[in-house]
Chains A and B, each alone.
Chain A
């Protein structure tokens, strides 16, 4: 880990590599972070973000957020906006295999005092109700034909079938359904991998966590109040994506693009994982549609998980979910490509904004924000490691400079292979329990790989985003109980 030669400091939190850094760069690359985070950044981030800067149509800058780390194709934390009127491309490597991996934040009217005595029971029941681990399947038994409806209709399908409330949709990015998803653009293989996985967490860094608001962790009291959050209050946060379905969609189109990229479109990329096609091409449009199907699968997945969470709270605390106030704050994707209008040098342009391990963060007043949050700015949910904590932030007007994008998590600093040599899952579980965090896991070694010290400091990441002005911190949540995928 060292800063590359030629890295220029633009401001306290913005660092730039010029187009002269690497042959083929069309725009400079900008990495966000404090000096400390920049010094600790994976070397690969600089290599990968400058590769992104070579892609056709990339506009203004190839960006990486403060939580950036080694990815494939794009770095994790990578953001790039492609001008679709100037041959801009779409690339699965700029979105990630886990399309619409994202975060859902749910509040309750319960307090720490009420939850603490029942915490183990609550976490044990959540662990049983939300399957996790290798190849896990969910309780929802759908035919492949029904699954095709789910991927076109997203979370709306779930609510119409009794797995949620209308209000949930209003509080989900894209209202839980990204329009233009055509199931005929996805393969049978993708459907076979995903049709029985709705309502499952998956594994790796995916989790479902019971958290609490402490007074000392409130950064903005009035924003906190506006989101209906107060000291002592218990919330639930979960992190998961489109499961095997999305993974297969990305894999399928990566191969499709590899076959046509050079021969049909004369595009050459420095890394095969950046395989792409012009957005305005048959292959590009098909992938855009298939990716939307995966966005919808993931919104549906998190919607069904919320339904299960409500059932568990209702059982454990003996009351209806309505009465217990198990209500959504927001659901946001952090692996996507979205067609958005952005002002570039004073002109409005249609840009395909790739965000890979980066969260959309629209500023106050913007059209896509639900009415009740319009004045506040779009909620941004940043998940930390299971030991440290997580954040709620809001988007700002200044977010314009990152195409309204912010970090998505804390970002790893240690490889999984190294982490499993350092920690033992069972010991870590006992040690965390000693610190008041009760964790259940499908995989002991998977737990060890997720140790807090394998991650960057979430506080530094959230602070860097605020210092850069691209988001404002509302509150930090402390973990109480965790279901680890």
Chain B
């Protein structure tokens, strides 16, 4: 499954943005959800040049909250450093009852001449937030506050 396996839902949240993301593995669904989140802010993600890199290390006892933390981290960089990041490499592991995530992300600052922006994401909501195993992979449902 490609890393852009996400779709925005028309009929769920009126003022916010709802999406579904899928992946064969945990890593793939995390990347797809990250892409969906960034694509709300930037129309064409491929226009982001990977000129600045960041390493993201996260730990959570709940797997779905680990995804919440990752999306929230991307939103944080957007405000704190005006950096729009895409995940380039990611691993998720379980150790002693906790889930660990290590990701490398790359991107650049918003450039009004090269990046067509859409709408700012304020936060990841927990309303109906879910990460579930499906028959052959994983599926996430997320509503973003914009």
Interface residues of A (CB under 8 A from B): 42, 69-73, 76, 93, 96-98, 133-135, 137, 189, 192-194, 197, 202-205, 243-244, 247-248, 250-251, 254-255, 258, 271-273, 275, 412-418, 421, 442-446, 449, 485
Contacts and interface: CB of A to CB of B under 8 A. Distances in A.
Interface stretch (B23-31, B72-80, B96-104): B72-80
A73 B127 contact: yes
Contacts of B75: 244, 247
A189 B129 CA distance: 23
B118 A443 contact: yes
B8 interface: yes
Contacts of B43: 445
A72 B119 contact: no
B56 interface: no
B14 A133 contact: no
A274 to B, nearest CB: 9
21 contacts: A69-B14, A70-B15, A98-B122, A134-B42, A189-B80, A192-B79, A202-B120, A243-B79, A244-B80, A247-B122, A247-B145, A248-B79, A250-B123, A271-B126, A271-B127, A416-B17, A416-B146, A417-B18, A418-B11, A445-B118, A446-B117
Given A98-B145, A417-B10, A445-B43, A254 B119 contact: no
Nearest to B143: A72
Interface residues of B, number: 40
Contact of A273 (B14, B79, B127): B127
Given A135-B120, A418-B10, A72 B76 contact: no
B15 A205 contact: yes
Most buried by A among B15, B119, B126: B15
A446 B76 contact: no
Interface of B: 8-18, 41-43, 65, 72, 75-76, 78-80, 82, 84, 110, 116-120, 122-129, 143, 145-146
Contacts of B117: 133-134, 203, 442-443, 446
Nearest to A441: B117
Contacts of A203: 117, 119-120, 146
4 shortest interchain CB distances as A-B pairs: A244-B79, A72-B127, A72-B125, A193-B79
B42 A416 contact: no
Contacts of A449: 119
Contacts of A204: 15, 119-120, 122, 146
B17 A134 contact: no
B10 A415 contact: yes
Contacts of A255: 65
B48 to A, nearest CB: 12
Contact of A72 (B65, B110, B120, B126): B126
